[in-house]
Amino acid sequence: MNNRVIDLASSLIRIPSVTGSESAIVSFLSDYLSESGFHTEILPSGSIVGIIDGGMPGPVIVLDGHIDTVGIGEESDWSFPPFAGDIKDGKIRGRGASDMKCGVAASIIAASRFAGKSFPGRIIAACIVEEERFEGIASREVSERFKPDCVIIAESTDGKLNIGQRGRAEIKIEAFGKSCHSSNPEEGVNAIYTLIDAIARIDSMPLSEHPVLGKGIMALTDMISEPYPGMSVIPNKAIATYDRRTLPGESAEGIVDSINKAIASVDAKASVAYGTTVTYSGLSLSAPRFFPSWIARDDSRLVSLAAEGLRKAGLFKGLGHYSFCTNGSHYAGEKGIETIGYGPGEERLAHITDEAISVESLESSCEGLYAILSALIEGNA
């Protein structure tokens, strides 16, 4: 049993770090990384990185994992304390076990095995804030600061080597009308009905499909009218939000243009939502809420070396891909940096009540990440 990775994962789970409140976990990691042979830096967003320098020219390898989590919902719905961090029936339990404190722990322990050794390049264990609220945006600091040659995303892969993901776009649909008193609705134009018409047209649009990543998705997630609440007033505006899961080659402009063509005959328009967030450190980050899809070639040097490393360790379970969005949207989607994914647990276990993953998955992923790092370093020696 790898007690180091289990102990670290348990410690991380026991520290609540819902997005925007990561200060305590960063403080813990600052001490832990330093004691484990890493040089540490806290970036302006509050993300913390641990650096191991091999002392020889070579590639910069980033292990990316976010340290924030979603909330717990109603604590009474949990059958155990949400921040237990304990082990029962072979599972490590608590919020963040799957998404993704076990992945962070596996990355740190795997990388720490290179501390004090000579090798070509540097290993960066990047512990990122703000991912659950704004995936990819805080990772921009890492690419700017360290210029990685390749990135390993440690989100859950169920033991597979992931080579891509669908992206995500938050699409805002605004429909317009004319306000009047609701006792005389014929004097106005109800924007809600205009929006309903636009939605019907959007929902009938065909979506593209990718041979590896599957179908694109266009899911309606919320609606609201203005003024709200509508006290005896016919609304002059109504807004809907869609979660659009994107595929390689789809751009924000292309998606918006296709929607606006579909709704051209109604008084409505589509746009990509714009987001602003403030990290626990006080840094304000703003950007369009568009997170690109990405896919690596299955015969690329990075994928080939990683797969061979896993095979040598007896841990290769085939290639896969993420269905959800990760910080890879920045590294691979925005910057074109070679990226793969490998981490403990299964996607379906993220964000659920009674979140837990198997200890076996945690331990094997730690060994797998070490095998991948070893293969990448040996391949560049």
Q: Are 138 and 285 in contact (CB under 8 A)?
A: yes
Residues 63-95: tens digit of each pLDDT = 999 999 999 999 999 999 999 999 999 999 999
pLDDT in the model for residue 230: 81
Provide the token pair at 309.
């490393």
Domains of the chain: 3-166+293-379 (3.40.630.10), 169-278 (3.30.70.360)
What is the predicted pLDDT for the residue at 381? 56
Lowest mean per-residue pLDDT among 4-8, 101-105, 227-231, 369-373: 227-231
Mean pLDDT (the chain) is 96
The pLDDT value recorded for residue 211 is: 93
Average pLDDT of the segment spanning 170-188? 96
Residue 1 has pLDDT above 80, yes or no: no
* Tokens (6 digits) for 128: 């990122």
Contacts with 51 (C-beta within 8 Å, 6 or more apart), sequence order: 38, 39, 40, 41, 122, 123, 124, 125
pTM given for the model: 0.93
Residue 53 to residues 57, 185, 356: CA-CA distances in angstroms? 10, 70, 34
pLDDT band at 380 (very low <50, low <70, confident <90, very high): confident
- How far apart, in whole angstroms, are the C-alpha atoms of residue 89 and residue 289? 40
Q: State the sign of the Cα–Cα–Cα–Cα dihedral 357, 360, 361, 362.
A: positive
